[in-house]
Structure 1
Amino acid sequence: MSAVEKGKAKNEQAKGKVKETAGSAVGNDRLEAEGRTEKATGDMRDAKEKVKDAFKH
């Protein structure tokens, strides 16, 4: 299950980065903000998984 969550985190981070870059390139502030939010969500999910792994071992 943890591998699935880690995959989701990496996917969200990548999608967020793409949206942020695309929004910045075309001057779309909403898309850029949406990308930053999605990337931050992925970062938080990744951090959560790292904490869970730390307590497993």
Structure 2
Amino acid sequence: MSASEKLRAKVEQAVGKAAQAAGRATGNEKLIAKGLAAEAAGDTREAKTSATDTGRP
């Protein structure tokens, strides 16, 4: 995959972690859940790019 997809995965993961930290600091359960979802989306995107990269020579 392209470098932009890898970067996008890392950004999603970072945004998710930041949202979780903010949610924990304020006690906002909804923000924690949104952060977990964003981080999971980044993890999924990263796994997808890794899987397609391993198939290339």
Aligning the two structures, in what range does the TM-score lie when normalised by the shorter sequence?
over 0.9
Q: What is the TM-score when the length of structure 2 is the normalising length? A: 0.96
Q: What is the rounded CA distance, in whole Å, between the counterparts of 1:28 and 1:36 in structure 2? A: 13
* Structure 1: tracts of 5 or more residues without a match: none
* Structure 2: tracts of 5 or more residues without a match: none
Q: What is the TM-score when the length of structure 1 is the normalising length? A: 0.96
> What is the number of equivalent residue pairs in this alignment?
57
Runs of 4+ in 1 over 4 A off after TM superposition: none
- Aligned-residue RMSD, C-alpha: 0.9
Q: What is the rounded CA distance, in whole Å, between the counterparts of 1:25 and 1:39 in structure 2? A: 18
Q: Greater helix share, 1 or 2?
A: 1
Matched, 1:48 2:35: no
- Percent sequence identity over aligned pairs: 47
Matched, 1:32 2:39: no
